A and B are shown apart, each in its own frame.
Chain A
Amino acid sequence: MDPATVTKDLRSLLSDTVTRLFTDLATKELIEAAEKGTWPDKLWRALEEGGLGPLTLAPVRRAERLSLTDRGGGVTVDGRVTRVPWGRDAGHVVTVGDLDGRPTVALIARGAATIEEDRNLALEPRDTLIFREARAVAAAPADVAADAIRRLGAMARAAQMAGALESCLVQSVRYATERKQFGRPIGSFQAIQQNLAVLAGHVAAAGIAAESAFRAAERGDARFEIAVAKVRVGEAAGVGAGIAHQTHGAIGFTYEHSLHFATRRLWSWRAEFGSESAWARELGHAVAARGADALWSDLTAR
């Protein structure tokens, strides 16, 4: 089998597994328990059986770096990284640092870090990890960009947000169909219909922007598409969460309703691994450097 087929098969296997696990196991009760701090052990064991160990990425913030030092028989890691997703629960941390002028991927046991716990708006662990001469489990030079972690993180968040936006749309349409006021479903009012159509447009744009980033990453340099996705999906997140809440009225503002599982994640994820403004500046600098007359030809070449 050629590598492309293997990748494709692997991807569909992974996709099936993930869909099944999250549909069957990630129940409302489980998410609520996780928000209270209970580690979803059963879900993670199932994920690990599927080959996905609890692994996290750092740094998340652009200004932060973990420094690598070659000590002869091994590489040690120093530095402080904040907002690390699931830092306290991960088995290992992956980072990209610089070693003798070459981008180097290093794997560090989480146990080697001092941890300061924190959470994002969605109550997902976002911890500060402090490494002092921590020995890397493995480190090797790799053909990756120095900011590869931030890019991959942004790409993943774009896809997750596209999914959360879809959830906002599905929940909003269902609610608008079921909820009656003035003797009819609120979805029969044009004001609601027009808002949900706007939400649907953002969902469509977010979905294809995220997908485009993954396709580009599979083909090679995805810097442009990832920036596009993080900006466009992030913008969709702001508008989309707003419309979803407006449609749901007061009930959507309660903890009892499940809408906030999507919207609180959108509000956090759009800021993680670079906000829209940060990525837009990066994209804008690249566009400006190429000049106005290259814009269209560059765009159509992607």
Chain B
Amino acid sequence: MPAVFRFALNDLPPEAESLRAEVREFLRKEFSGAAPVKRAKSWGGFDREFSRRVGARGWIGMTWPKTYGGHERSFLERYVVMEEMLAAGAPVSAHWVADRQSGPLLLRFGTEAQRQKILPSIVRGELAFAIGMSEPDSGSDLASIRTRATKTDGGYLVNGTKVWTSNAHLSDYAISLFRTQVVPDKKHEGLTQFLVDLRNTTGITIRPIIDLAGKHHFNEVNFTDAFVPDEARVGNEGDGWKQVTTELGFERSGPERYLSSIALIREVVREVSAHPDDRGTESIGRMVASLATLRQMSTSVAGMLQAGETVNLEAAAVKDVGTTFEQSIPELAHALLDLEPTLTSGSDLQQVLGYITQTAPSFSLRGGTREILRGIIARGLGLR
């Protein structure tokens, strides 16, 4: 068996470290005094004004070419901005999806016109994106999607339903995966992605799906003879599957895959610090050991991405180990402390615990379930 993973230690370059100080100062001014429970929401938070200010600092589309408004900085500098934003609990979701996924997709596979029209606005923090992949009958088995885009004059007529579409009700565009052709017994073929204008397309209905905590992030997006013009097609017909798998590689290795519980980690450390007994210190010691190791794994992948290497397998490993860690934190807090998780009453720690406890199940679902990721790793091991 060949070596399965290549996790080489990576040092962040000096320019990334000086950037870190700038980002910290910016975040300190933005959020000094923000309640820990607000910070816990981080990439659940959607704040267009904040995203514009981040764009004005040059921290969106950092690695993209200047032609499209980008800043031509390194992937590692972008990494530092991301991890600082997440560690501080900044509400990044109004620019985050576009910066991480949709922008890079258009840069790689989009038409010149799409790039010129869309990318500069993303960079300024003015365009929010949603992702239209899952459907009622297609979750982990993404290639089984049925929403049809049927060729018509000057474009396509779309019919079908997408679900779990985060922030569709707040976003400007949704990169959506449709079936343009039915190829018998070849479900990965005939899939095509489109840049769907959520605000100016007739035939689209967006309905909320309320999560278990009573919050509205998800949506069901219904397409009924919705007309999507040819210019909105990303790449060629049938290229959708290849594009989607590339995108998920970007999505899986970032600091967001192990930092979702950082606000709770911080509050647990605060609690233990007040009375550092053996049991408490052992618990936070184990927690920090995992956190530090995951950060090494994640920065290692960032280094490989910077070097232009393929990281699908390593990214899957970071996400699997990372989400398992994130989910262990509320469990650890419960085992260690005699505290009830709360909604709005009680201490900061109780409220953060309440928020993370109810969010944690999603950590190993979003962006590819734990089982799918482990399947990818098993394939890398040569077992499939």
B86: nearest residue on chain A (CB-CB)?
A: A296
Q: Are A283 and B266 in contact (CB under 8 A)?
A: no
- Report whether A284 and B375 are in contact in the complex, using a CB–CB cutoff of 8 Å: no
Residue of B nearest to A295 (CB): B269
Q: Does A177 sit at the interface, judged by CB under 8 A?
A: yes
- Distance in Å from the Cβ of A68 to the closest Cβ of chain B? 31
Chain A residues 142 to 169 lying within 8 A of chain B, measured CB to CB, are 169
Q: A201-B377, A231-B285, A295-B288 are in contact. Are A169 and B293 (CB under 8 A)?
A: no
Q: How large is the interface on A (under 10, 10 to 19, 20 to 34, 35 or more residues)?
A: 35 or more
A232 within 8 A of B: yes
Q: Interface digits, A199-217 against B, CB 8 Å rule (1 contact, 0 not)?
A: 0111111011101100100
Given known pairs A196-B381, A205-B294, A289-B276, the reply for A277 and B282 (CB within 8 Å) is yes
What 0/1 readout, one digit per residue, does chain B (289-301) give for beta carbons within 8 Å of chain A? Answer: 1111111110010
Residues of A within 8 A of B185 (CB): none
Give chain A's interface secondary structure class: helix
- B280 touches A (CB below 8 Å): yes
Which residues of chain A come closer than 8 Å to B282, judged between CB atoms?
277, 280-281, 284
By the criterion CB–CB under 8 Å, are B276 and A208 in contact? Answer: no
- The closest CB in chain B to the CB of A292 belongs to B270
B-side interface residues, number (CB < 8 Å): 53
Q: A197-B375, A205-B294 are in contact. Are A283 and B288 (CB under 8 A)?
A: yes
Q: Which residue of A lies closest to B377 (CB)?
A: A197
- Interface: A299 (CB within 8 A): yes
* Chain B residues within CB distance 8 Å of chain A: 1, 4-5, 7, 9, 20, 24, 83, 87, 262, 265-267, 269-270, 272-273, 276, 278, 280-286, 288-297, 300, 314, 317, 320-321, 324, 371, 373-375, 377-378, 380-384
Give the B-binding residues of A (Cβ under 8 A): 169-170, 173-174, 176-177, 187-188, 190, 192-194, 196-198, 200-205, 207-209, 211-212, 215, 224-225, 227-229, 231-232, 235, 276-277, 279-285, 287-289, 291-293, 295-297, 299-300, 302
21 A-B residue pairs with Cβ-Cβ distance under 8 Å, sorted by A, are: A176-B383, A193-B374, A198-B374, A200-B4, A200-B317, A201-B321, A202-B321, A208-B296, A208-B300, A212-B292, A227-B285, A231-B285, A231-B289, A232-B293, A235-B289, A279-B285, A280-B285, A280-B286, A284-B284, A285-B281, A300-B295
